[in-house]
Amino acid sequence: MSSPITKLIAQRVALGIILLFAVSVLIFAGTQILPGDVAQSILGQAATPVALANLRQEMGLNDPAYIRYFRWLFDILQGDLGKSLTTQLDIATSIRERLWNTLFLAFWAAIVAIPLAIILGLTAVRYRNGPIDKLITGVALASTSVPEFFIGYLLVYFLAVKFQLFPGISTVYDGMQFPEKMKAIALPSTALTLGVLAHMMRMTRAAILNVMQSAYIETAELKGLTAFEIIWKHAFPNAIAPIINVVMLNLAYLVVGVVVVEVIFVYPGMGQYLVDHVAKRDVPVVQAVGLIFAAVYIFLNVAADVASILANPRLRHPK
């Protein structure tokens, strides 16, 4: 690996770390300005002033905000996410299984959405400006215009209530058989797939069409290559950098944007866990989940930048 590439990748990684640090400050500050008193919410309205004062002292709530922030950040760096205020359970232990559930759901949505988006994008380019291209583009635009929660409720109504093909509540647990687990996540993964499919397909189509204007494409046409051969062998490889970028960004969205879908289908993932504890004003849980979502999103964005650098010769050799 040449020095310019190493320098570019190091810059992206360093920028990601700085951004994550800034996001951690925003997350901590945001939870501190929430209305209400954490100690009061734990002890209840009947708590005495002495009990409230003792609990605030025990939890360090009387310390300045910057001291509490650095104490929290230091614990995070050691892998200690703290304890839930409502259940007194270790947050890292509680999150582990839910994070796996969220990643499992996002993984299967990505397995379907990514190849399907690329195939549809290639097909739209192959038949550009024709009926097939207009149909694919029109359906993609319609899909983009419909919010995920509406798609989720439509899937529940038609496939769970009306035709009873899949469960409306996506319950998964340890020891569950793989076919049963796949059936349980069928509806939420479909909602996620439809949420990102259109964007990836349109970006794939746009990236390949941009490459199709190049001179070497005209040369390939003069050689007598078929339209599919030109697209697959010449246009697609040279459009791979922006396609990888948009795929990685949508993977980030799959993980972070899963909150709404998990709530609709009562799926036991990170999103449902976050919403449950926001309602209880469980600040340590909200901070931990928010930071994990931010870390995943930033990591995948950095990975998208690095993949674009490695896939694009002009970025690999900036001079």
| pLDDT tens readout for residues 50-68 | 888 887 787 777 788 889 8
CA 282 to chain centre: 23
- The CA distance from 74 to 16, in Å, is 19
Q: What is the mean pLDDT of residues 199-215?
A: 88
* Count of other CB atoms within 10 angstroms of residue 123: 17
CATH architecture, range 3-35+81-316: Orthogonal Bundle (1.10)
Q: Note the pLDDT of residue 310.
A: 78
Query: Across all residues in the chain, what is the average pLDDT?
Result: 86
Q: What is the mean pLDDT of residues 161-170?
A: 92
Where does the pLDDT of residue 317 fall: very low under 50, low under 70, confident under 90, or very high at 90 and above?
low
Q: Is the pLDDT of residue 253 over 90?
A: no
Q: Is the pLDDT of residue 260 over 60?
A: yes
Contact 192, 106 (CB under 8 A): yes
Break the chain into its structural domains and give their ranges.
Answer: 3-35+81-316
Least confident of 29-43, 160-174, 225-239: 29-43
Q: Is the pLDDT of residue 319 over 60?
A: no
Q: What is the mean pLDDT of residues 84-104?
A: 89
* Count of other CB atoms within 10 angstroms of residue 269: 28
Where does the pLDDT of residue 225 fall: very low under 50, low under 70, confident under 90, or very high at 90 and above?
confident
Residues 6+ apart with CB under 8 A from 248: 300, 301, 303, 304, 307
Q: Note the pLDDT of residue 26.
A: 94
Where does the pLDDT of residue 17 fall: very low under 50, low under 70, confident under 90, or very high at 90 and above?
very high
- The CA distance from 303 to 9, in Å, is 9
- The CA distance from 264 to 176, in Å, is 21
Q: Which amino acid is at 117?
A: A
Q: Is the pLDDT of residue 153 over 70?
A: yes
Q: Note the pLDDT of residue 280.
A: 77
Q: Note the pLDDT of residue 281.
A: 79
pTM of the model: 0.84
| pLDDT tens readout for residues 282-309 | 888 999 999 999 999 999 889 888 887 7
- Nearest CA to 250 among 192, 163, 186? 192
Q: What is the mean pLDDT of residues 106-110?
A: 93
Query: Exposed (0-12), middle (13-18) or buried (19+): which is 267, by Cβ within 10 Å?
Result: buried
Q: Note the pLDDT of residue 315.
A: 59
Where does the pLDDT of residue 1 fall: very low under 50, low under 70, confident under 90, or very high at 90 and above?
very low
- The CA distance from 33 to 46, in Å, is 23
State how far the alpha carbon of 159 is from the alpha carbons of 83, 145, 170, 249, 258, in Å. Answer: 39, 21, 13, 29, 20
In the numeric block, which tokens belong to residue 165? Answer: 């093909």
Least confident of 40-49, 127-136, 177-186, 240-249: 40-49
Q: Is the pLDDT of residue 266 over 70?
A: yes
Q: Note the pLDDT of residue 183.
A: 94
Q: Note the pLDDT of residue 245.
A: 83
